[in-house]
Structure 1
């Protein structure tokens, strides 16, 4: 997987005192095309501290452009921000 660290729009579900669960997200390719991806499977969720910032790293699997891909979504807890971290 290659680090891309692009900001994304995410629809996620939340439960009381639990981690957010991403449902789908949108991002723009370098060509400017908007891609919408449904999260088919969450493989792992890791709590991480990157440069002193608390994050959750989700390793997921989905169909992206008709191809099954593994990727990572990063949720920055203190900033309530999502990134397509690796793909």
Structure 2
């Protein structure tokens, strides 16, 4: 898993998450639409790291997560746009 190359996907996803009283989100599972219009639900097994990033004035939280997908453990990156409250599956 160390050094695994992740492909940039940058797709919006439907997210189920919970928030701390301070407003910090914790992702639980998300739904992504594939090219063939089918939908896949992925449960987040573990959040490995959370970082903040600012691109062109847009503040984001970057969640590096891991899950078992199709019997294989995968690492992926989800981004949460603080201004628009949108979730993006950025890398997988």
Question: TM-score when scaled to structure 2?
Answer: 0.89
Q: Pairwise mapping of residues 6-85 of structure 1 onto structure 2 (< 5 A)?
A: 6-85=11-90
Q: Which has the larger radius of gyration?
A: 2
CA RMSD of aligned residues (A): 1.0
Q: Which runs of 5+ in 1 are unaligned?
A: none
What is the count of residue pairs matched by the alignment?
87
Instruction: Tell me the TM-score normalized by structure 1.
Output: 0.94
Kindly provide the CA deviation profile for residues 19-56 of structure 1, in whole angstroms up to 9, marking residues without a partner as x: 10000000011122211011000000001101220000
Q: What is the alpha-carbon distance in structure 2 between the residues aligned to residue 67 and residue 78 of structure 1?
A: 34
